[in-house]
Structure 1
Amino acid sequence: MGAAIAPRLHEMGVEVTAWNRFPEKAEASGLPIAYTLHVLCERSDIIITSLFDRDSAAMAVYCGDEGLLGAGAAISSSASSKCVH
């Protein structure tokens, strides 16, 4: 979903920075890229996540060593069966 959302936002005039757990996917978007979540947080007022494999992806993206929670703040729009505090 993120591969469709980010370019559409960009087309609408929204400043978008792409990040993906697999950098080659972000590079394919043609958008400006952040190679780490910390850099993404520094460049962004709002971060929208779209995670395919739910729980394992959410744990890595939010709680991993370089995760969003460690970078400062995060808003999740993903459906998950687990709650992270």
Structure 2
Amino acid sequence: MLELLSKWPLLRQIRERKDGTGLESMSNKTRAMHARIDGAKVARSICPYCGVGCGQLIYHKDGKLISIEGDPESPISQGNLCP
């Protein structure tokens, strides 16, 4: 019985810690990926759409807007923005 179980691929993967959840599960393309905001500059701003005045973090690179997200340091919105 033990010999049969030792040949079971699932147990072998667990024993050898090759269960597909580590680095071996990532492709070269995935390893080369990075966040859009990598290397971008950040400017703090206030949302202009209503009177609440939520804080925003505006990410920009080479004069182009990359992303906008809520500013967690804003005492008004605490990192949240309207949907």
> Would you say same fold, with TM above 0.5?
no
Q: Which has the higher strand share?
A: 2
Tell which has more relative contact order, 1 or 2 (C-alpha 8 A, sep 6+).
1
Q: Which has the higher helix share?
A: 1
The structure whose Rg is larger is 2
What TM-score results when the alignment is normalised by the length of structure 1? Answer: 0.22
